[in-house]
Amino acid sequence: MSILIIEDEKKLVDIIKIALKGERYSVDEAYDGKVGLDKAMKNNYSLIILDIMLPKKNGFTVCKELREHQIHTPIIILTARGSEGDRIMGLDLGADDYLVKPFGIKELLARIRAILRRRKTTDENIVKYADLVMDKKKHEVTRAGITTPLAPKEYKLLDMLLSNHGEAISRQRLIEHAWGPDFKEKNNELNVHIRYLRKKIDGNKPLIHTIRDVGFILKE
Ligand code: CA
């Protein structure tokens, strides 16, 4: 998850940055509206924190131009001016939420979590990678257009690997996700279920790869 901060008060940027990094978001910053807009157009951020009073281009214009370019990255507006008019204008221009300065950093983090959670339930019902598609609403998995029924544990393991494709997932994380935090492996259950899963979805173009002494990764 990466977050762009567009804000000209360097001190405030630093404070937000430290807090976000503490929550393991990756952070990018811009100190004026022009650079901010440029970065937001070029990169794919999970969320943008946008100040209103900015050099070169104000936050309202940045927000408006992003939406006009069909960039729907969630935006939280920061405004020193708490007037109702400003807040309404921000929301009307397509911002998702606003915070009035001075605000508590914990509140900002909570708002970010809420927005990202909302995004997740709408956008992430369908997860795709290569020719593999998981429809979480239908609880259905297809590879190259062919639907493959999976047992519950296999589905959970695939869900974890697919949602984090390209990332090595530790054995412990996979076990916790599929069996729960208290489960202790007795008969190599994880390998057994990964083997079933590979049989069902890998075919002759394997997507699930073993990373020795670590766990597994889903990639082409
Ligand atoms: Ca400012």
CA of residue 58 to ligand 1 center, whole Å: 9
d(C-alpha 78, C-alpha 80), whole Å: 7
CA of residue 53 to ligand 1 center, whole Å: 4
Domain ranges of the chain: 2-123, 127-218
Of 159, 156, 169, residue with least CA distance to 126: 159
d(C-alpha 189, C-alpha 204), whole Å: 24
Q: Which long-range contacts (CB under 8 A, 24 or more apart) does 175-184 make?
A: 178/153, 179/153
pLDDT of residue 82: 62
Burial of 105 (0-12, 13-18, 19+ CB in 10 A): middle
CA of residue 69 to ligand 1 center, whole Å: 24
Examine the pLDDT at 15 and tell me if it is beyond 70. yes
d(C-alpha 43, C-alpha 132), whole Å: 25
Over residues 50-74, the pLDDT tens digits come to 999 999 999 999 999 998 887 888 9
Over residues 129-184, the pLDDT tens digits come to 888 988 887 888 999 888 999 999 999 999 999 988 899 999 999 999 999 888 99
pLDDT of residue 120: 64
Instruction: Indicate the average pLDDT of the chain.
Output: 90
Tell me the pLDDT band of 215, cut-offs 50, 70 and 90: very high
Segment among 39-43, 120-124, 143-147, 200-204 with least mean pLDDT? 120-124
Over residues 73-109, the pLDDT tens digits come to 899 999 876 667 777 777 888 899 989 888 999 999 9
CA of residue 63 to ligand 1 center, whole Å: 15
CA of residue 84 to ligand 1 center, whole Å: 18
Alpha carbon 205 to its chain centroid, in Å, reads 27
Of 44, 42, 81, 43, residue with least CA distance to 59: 81
Q: Which residue has the tokens 């073993």?
A: 210
Q: Is 127-218 CATH 1.10.10.10?
A: yes
Q: Is 2-123 CATH 3.90.110.10?
A: no
What number of other Cβ atoms are within 10 A of residue 207's Cβ? 22
Whether the CB-CB separation of 2 and 27 falls below 8 Å is answered with yes
CA of residue 154 to ligand 1 center, whole Å: 50
Interior/surface letters 33-72, b for 16+ CB within 10 angstroms, e for the rest: bbbbbebbeeeebbbbbbbbbbeebbbbbbbbbbeeeebe
CA of residue 86 to ligand 1 center, whole Å: 14
The neighbourhood of ligand 1, an ion, using CB within 5 A, equals 8, 51, 53
- What DSSP character marks residue 73? -
CA of residue 3 to ligand 1 center, whole Å: 18
